[in-house]
Structure 1
C-alpha cells in the first residue's frame, strides 16, 4: 500500500513508521524539515498546494499530521482566545490544501490527526476529577466542544473531511489523539518526568501527581497509535468517522473503544493504569 504521511518527522509520524512494516507500506514521508525514515522522504510545506500536489499521485492513502505553529505562542491547547491568528490561518490553509490534493489525485482514504482538544471542554470543565475515573466521559457521540483555537482547527478538519467524503467519495478517518509522546517519554509518567527534568516541580509534588493522573487517562502508546492508523488503512467499510486515540486506560474519559473495536478492529495493547512508577523505577 502506498501511503503519504505529512508532518512525518514529528512524534506521531515517527510512531507510525517505527511500528508499521515498510514491507507492507510504501511510505512517502513529507515534512518541512530534513528527516530520515523508511521510504521516500521529501521536504515541502502543506501551505503551498503546488509544492505538495505531485506527491499525492499514485497514493492509496494520506495521513495528514502536519501542524504549523509558527511564532504564535497563543496557538496552544490551553488558549481560550476567540480572535484570529496567523497559526490558525496557516493550519486551515494546510488542511484545505491536503484534502484538495487528496481528492484531486483520487486517493482512496484520508486519515486526519485530530485531537482530544476537539472535545476538550469536557476535560476543562471537569478537571482534575475527570483524571480519576469519574462518570464523566466523552463518548463517540460527543459533539464538538473545542477548548481552544487549536481544538477549533481540529473540528474544522473533521467537518471538512466529512464534506470531502460525502461530496467527493474519499473515505475519511479523524483520529482524536489523546497524548502520544516521543519514544523516551512513551509512558504515563512521561509529562511529569519531563517537567521534573526541566525543574518545574518535584517528583513528590501535587503538580507531578496531577500530570501522571492526566496522562493515565489520555495516554496512547506509540504502538497503539500505529495500530489505530493501521486499522484505518486496512478498513474499506467506513465512509467517514472519528475514533479516539487512547490506549486501553482504565480511567480514560475519551471512551469509544468498544465502537472502534467493532467498527475497525482497534485492540489497544497498553493501559496507563498498569504503571505505578516511571520506567527506571519499575521493579
Structure 2
C-alpha cells in the first residue's frame, strides 16, 4: 500500500515513521513544508517539500497513493483566526481535493480531542480522577475550545462531505488525537519533565503533579498512535468514522470502545502503569 503522510516530521508523523516505516506492506511518501538535515534522526527519508496551503505544490505527491494520513496543520489552541485559517481550513480543502483528483481511496485525518475540549474546561480537575463517571464518544456533542478546535471540526465535516457526497476518498477516518509526545519524552511524565528541563516547573510543585495526572489520562503513546493509524489503513469497511486517539489509560475520559469494535484497535499502554519518570518506548 502506498501511503502519503503530510506533516511528517511532527510528533504524530514521526511516530508513524518510528513504528510503521519499514513494514513490507507499506511504501511511505513524506510531505512536509521543510526537510531535515542528513544527520538528523529523520533526515534519511525522501521528502516532498511543500506547504499544504499551495495546491499546485502539493498535488504531485498524491499521484499513485492508496491512502493519505493528513497531519499537517497549525496545532496550537492559543492561535487566533489568522493563524489557523490558511493551514487548517484552506490546507484541509487542498489536501482533500488533491486526494480526490488523484483517486486516493482512504483518508486518515489528524483531528483533535479539543473538538470536545469544553468538557475538560468545565469539569477539570475532577475529570482527571480515574473514577470520574464520564466517557465521551463519537456521538457526544462537539464542543470546541478554540479556533484551532473549530477548524478541526470543520475538517471532520469536510471529510464527511467528500466521502459521502463526492465519493472520493471513499473512506475517511477522523482521529481525535489526545496527547502524543516526542520520542524523547514518551511517558505520562514527559510534558512535565520537559518543563522541568526548561526551568518552568519543579517536581515538587502542585502544577507538576496536576500536569502528570492529566497526561496519565490523555496520553496516547507513540506505538499506540501508530497502531491506530495502522488499523485505519488496514480497514476496508468504514466509509466515515470518528475515533478517539488515546491509550488504554485508567483515567481517560475519551472512550475507545468504538475504535476497538470497528477497527480492532488494541492499545498496549496505560498511563497508570507509570509512577515515576521512566524509560521511553
Contact 1:17 1:38 in 2 (8 A): no
1:40 correspondence with 2:46: yes
**1:5 is paired with a residue of what secondary structure?**
strand
In the aligned structure 1, how far is the partner of 2:253 from the partner of 2:44? 35
Q: Secondary structure at the match of 1:85?
A: helix
Distance 1:39 1:27, change over 3 A: farther
Are the counterparts in 2 of residues 113 and 174 from structure 1 also a CA contact under 8 Å?
yes
- Structure 2 residue 239 is matched with structure 1 residue 246: no
Structure 1: tracts of 5 or more residues without a match:
70-75
5+ long unaligned stretches in structure 2: 37-41
**Structure 1 segments of 4+ aligned residues over 3 angstroms from their partners:** 36-40
In the aligned structure 2, how far is the partner of 1:40 from the partner of 1:26? Answer: 12
Q: Does residue 278 of structure 2 align to residue 279 of structure 1? A: yes
Q: CA deviation at 1:43?
A: 0.5
1:232 pairs with 2:229: no
Structure 1 residue 87, shift from structure 2 partner: 2.9
1:259 matched to 2:258? The reply is yes
Deviation at 1:90, TM superposition (A): 3.2
Q: Per-residue deviation at 1:44?
A: 0.7
User: What residue in structure 1 maps to residue 61 of structure 2?
Assistant: 55
Deviations 1:72-97 (A, max 9, x none): xxxx3256x7xx32432332110000
Are 1:103 and 2:77 matched, yes or no? Answer: no
Distance, in Å, in 2 between the alignment partners of 1:254 and 1:122 is: 11
Alpha carbons 2:84, 2:151 under 8 Å: kept: no
Task: Mark the CA change 1:89 to 1:33 in structure 2 (over 3 Å): closer, same or farther.
Answer: closer
Residue pairs, 1:1-283, within 5 angstroms: 1-22=1-22, 23-35=24-36, 36=42, 40-68=46-74, 76-78=76-78, 84-133=81-130, 134-169=132-167, 170-255=170-255, 257-279=256-278
Q: Could you tell me how far 1:128 is from its partner in structure 2?
A: 0.9
3-state DSSP of counterpart to 1:125: helix
Residue-pair matches, total: 270
Instruction: Report the TM-score, using the length of structure 2 for normalisation.
Output: 0.92
- Over aligned residues, Cα RMSD in angstroms? 1.5
Secondary structure at the aligned position of 2:123 is classed as: coil
Normalising by structure 1, we get a TM-score of 0.92
Query: What is the CA–CA distance in structure 1 between the aligned matches of 2:138 and 2:88, rounded to whole Å?
Result: 25
Q: 1:174 aligns to what SS in structure 2? A: strand
Asked if the contact 2:228/2:245 (under 8 Å) is kept, the reply is yes
- For 1:202 and 1:279, locate their aligned partners in 2 and report how far apart those are by CA, in whole Å: 17
Q: State how far apart, in whole Å, the 1-side matches of 2:46 and 2:191 are.
A: 32
